[in-house]
Amino acid sequence: MEVPILKQGPYLIASIQSALSDADLVQLRDALVEQVGRLRSRGVIVDVTALDVMDSFATRTLRDITFMIRLRGAETVIVGIQPDVAFTMVQLGLKLEGVPTALDLEEGITFLSKKDGSPAKETNSRER
Amino acid sequence: MGALPRKRTLVNGERNPVEAAVPARSPIGNTRDRVLEEIAVHINGDTDIVAARQKGRVLAGTLGFSSSELTLIATAISELARNIVLYAKQGEIVLRVLERGEQRGIMVRAGDQGPGIPDVRRALQGGFSTSRSLGLGLPGVRRLMDEFEIESRVGYGTTVTARKWKR
Amino acid sequence: MVNEMRESREARTTFGAAHQMTAPTAELLRQLVAHLRQNRTQLREEWARRITEAKLLTAMTKEEIFAEATSVYDNYVEALETGTFEALQAYARNLSERIIPRGVETHEVVGIVLLLRDVLARSLFAKYQNDFALLNRILDAYEPAANRIANTVAVGFVQERERVIREQQEAIRVLSTPVLQVRERLLILPIIGVIDPQRARQLTEQLLRGIRTNRARVVVIDITGVPVMDANVANNLVQTVEATRLLGATVIITGLSPEIAQTLVTIGVDLGKMNTVGDLQGGIEEAERLLGYKVVTFTESADHALRA
């Protein structure tokens, strides 16, 4: 099952809808790495909310995506990792080191806009 | 083939000393466990990995495992099934609902007739890998499950059996 | 007539001994029950007196002891008469439920039941001392039933106590890992007490769910109340921090005692990636800074108010 990739302003959003096979993940990686250059995107959000399992292969592929896209001059953030999935990942020793994470899509966009200095909405900073 | 001596490594099986005394030829290794249900999933490619872990999650769900335990079990199945695809190309995942005394649990057995693992002990240490996996597969599965056994013979194949008991 | 009675009694009986009960034994028990009924007032007074004398049930008043003694006595006689223990068992459980919260110990409960056995045996001795053979037969009939009764009460108490302890442990577990939202996007997890692997697991699951439901961005884990930390607990803590990061939140750890800091360094836990701040107050300030709040100290705001 192919993962739809949406262009949202300067960002690409890959929203995973269901369980993915290894081939699907590799296909997603290749598509993102290709499109980020062609569309001159500044950031990529991979939404994994729908994934109920993130094993070593999925984790490694997400890391590969992040690093490859960084080499292409853009930043990636993984959003929506479920509590149970995170719990299992750390027990497996899969920490996604060097890969930015955020709670959900909204937080992911906030993270990217802070990162590339664009004046996008700052949902969270306020003065007291 | 049954007459050949097999290398058998028991890990985390200490809670059941009877296991060690079971002949190496016995397919699962524990005669005290009663099998309540069994599903076999043929593993032939990476889409079968997804099928196997989904079936495992549903089966374990009938035992009343918590959602985080179900995720642990599904992930363990995924890792074992992937090892089959990576190293042996094809094999089988057998999922069983077990009863041992008062306890109920799930057993996952991944069997293949691939090249086998020359150094099982090393394969169980974190960081070791002969292929493109992270090398976290087996030690990771061992951490996720309550019991873990591996039986491998170079040139004949590998069988990994893991169990998780409902607390 | 006696045979009929025996049959009806056996039909209801729940203890094995009764099945081998001979007609004379049944008759003896009947005599015994009649004796205990006749002397009810005097015997339970004697029992209550002995309880006070032996300094048992000190958590209860004299009146309470007498009231409970009366109930136990009546249930006891009924169990002897009918050979069924359900009523006594239910009463024992009910009694345990009431007295356990008041700190009554197992030895006290066993003690009072043994005292009752003794009081009754002495009374039987006084009544039948002139006919030694009959006394022996009466005691033979009485002993197994009395032992069974003592056993029922004591086991009921212990089971109830275990149930209460389990419940309390569970309650403590839930209470001792509260995930508190102090303000939008900020959670505090004060951990108090010893962490074992099971608790660490529960704590992590609770925290991760809390992060998701509250959309938390920063979590302050305060371990001021954690007395000791070994390598296992430290690794659990590291795992909690890693899992939290996977969800997209940041962890600040506060309240690391000098001893625990020393332990962590000695066992080589990688704290490099951990965000630690001295105390909870400092941790909350750091969290607010991360969240983009401007920290205003009390004196500053007071100055401001004065000037305004």
Chain A hits for B56, Cβ within 8 Å? none
Window from B103-107, C45-49, C303-307 with minimum mean pLDDT: C303-307
Chain A hits for C247, Cβ within 8 Å? 81, 83, 86, 101, 103
> In angstroms, rounded to a whole number, what is the distance separating the alpha carbons of residues C116 and A1?
77
> In angstroms, rounded to a whole number, what is the distance separating the alpha carbons of residues A53 and B71?
6
pLDDT band at C298 (very low <50, low <70, confident <90, very high): low
The domain containing residue A88 runs over which residues? 5-101
pLDDT at C163: 84
pLDDT band at C1 (very low <50, low <70, confident <90, very high): very low
Residue B148 dihedral angles phi and psi, to the nearest 5°: -150, 130
* A61 is a domain residue: yes
Q: What is the mean pLDDT of residues C29-47?
A: 89
Kindly identify which residue of chain B lies nearest to residue A22, measuring between CA atoms: B46
All partners of chain C with 3 or more CB pairs under 8 angstroms: A
How far does Cα A34 stand from its chain's mean position?
15
Kindly identify which residue of chain B lies nearest to residue A54, measuring between CA atoms: B75
Residue C250, SS3 per DSSP:
strand
Are C33 and C80 spatial neighbours (Cβ–Cβ below 8 Å)?
Answer: yes
Architecture of domain C2-167: Orthogonal Bundle (1.10)
Paired strand residues for B95: B39, B108
Alpha helical stretches, state H, chain B: 18-21, 46-61, 67-83, 120-123, 137-144
CATH 3.30.750.24 domain extents, chain C: 180-307
CB-count exposure of residue C249 (10 Å: 0-12, 13-18, 19+): buried
Cβ within 8 Å, pair A101-C293: no
Cβ within 8 Å, pair B49-A93: no
All partners of chain A with 3 or more CB pairs under 8 angstroms: B, C
pLDDT band at C283 (very low <50, low <70, confident <90, very high): very high
- From the list B47, B74, B79, the residue facing A52 with the nearest CB is B74
pLDDT at C230: 83
- Provide the mean pLDDT of chain B: 80
Q: What is the CATH number of the domain that holds A11?
A: 3.30.750.24
A81 CB near a chain B CB, below 8 Å? Answer: no
Element of type H or E holding C93: helix C86-99
Q: What is the mean pLDDT of residues B100-109?
A: 93
In the structure encoding, which two tokens stand for residue C128, read together?
A: 């039948």
Paired strand residues for B37: B97
Residue C56 dihedral angles phi and psi, to the nearest 5°: -100, 160
Higher-pLDDT residue of C285 and B121 is: C285
* A90 is a domain residue: yes
Long-range contact set of residues B43-46: C-beta below 8 Å, sequence gap at least 24? B43/B81, B43/B84, B43/B85, B43/B90, B43/B91, B43/B92, B43/B93, B43/B110, B43/B112, B44/B89, B44/B90, B45/B85, B46/A21, B46/A22, B46/A23, B46/B82, B46/B85
Cα B127-A96-A8 angle, rounded to 5 deg: 150
Closest CA to C252 of C211, C205, C218: C218
- Domain ranges for chain B: 8-19+31-165
In the structure encoding, which two tokens stand for residue C174, read together?
A: 């839930």
Paired strand residues for C17: none
Q: In CATH, which superfamily holds the domain spanning B8-19+31-165?
A: Histidine kinase-like ATPase, C-terminal domain (3.30.565.10)
pLDDT at A122: 44
Are B113 and B156 spatial neighbours (Cβ–Cβ below 8 Å)?
Answer: yes
> In angstroms, rounded to a whole number, what is the distance separating the alpha carbons of residues C180 and B166?
30
How far does Cα B71 stand from its chain's mean position?
16
Closest CA to A94 of A102, A85, A105: A85
Q: Phi-psi bin for B14: left (phi > 0), alpha (psi -120 to 50), beta?
A: alpha
- From the list C216, C243, C249, the residue facing A87 with the nearest CB is C243
Per-residue pLDDT tens over the stretch A40-50: 999 999 999 99
Neighbours of A89 (CB within 10 A): 26
Residue B31, SS3 per DSSP:
coil
Window from C25-29, C269-273, C280-284 with minimum mean pLDDT: C269-273
CB-count exposure of residue C107 (10 Å: 0-12, 13-18, 19+): exposed
> In angstroms, rounded to a whole number, what is the distance separating the alpha carbons of residues C180 and C210?
9
Residue C246, SS3 per DSSP:
helix
B7 pLDDT exceeds 50? no
pLDDT at B8: 40
Q: What is the mean pLDDT of residues A11-33?
A: 94
pLDDT band at A87 (very low <50, low <70, confident <90, very high): very high
CATH 1.10.490.70 domain extents, chain C: 2-167
Percent of chain C with pLDDT over 90: 19
> In angstroms, rounded to a whole number, what is the distance separating the alpha carbons of residues C245 and A96?
9
Percent of chain A with pLDDT over 90: 78
Which residue of B75, B77, B129, B141 is the best one to mutate when testing the A interface, meaning the one whose CB has the most A CBs within 10 A?
A: B75
**Beta-carbon pairs below 8 A across chains A and B:** 71
Q: Which CATH code, of 3.40.50.12160, 3.40.1160.10, 3.40.50.150, 3.30.750.24, is assigned to C180-307?
A: 3.30.750.24
A95 CB near a chain B CB, below 8 Å? Answer: no
A126 CB near a chain C CB, below 8 Å? Answer: yes
CB-count exposure of residue B72 (10 Å: 0-12, 13-18, 19+): buried
Calculate the alpha carbon distances from C243 to A93, C76, C204, C249 in Å.
Answer: 10, 58, 8, 9
Complex-level ipTM beyond the 0.95 threshold = no
Cβ within 8 Å, pair B134-A52: no
The residues in A 85-124 lying below 8 A from C, measured between CB atoms, are 85-87, 89-91, 95-96, 101-104, 107, 122, 124
Number of domains comprising chain A: 1
Residue A75, SS3 per DSSP:
strand
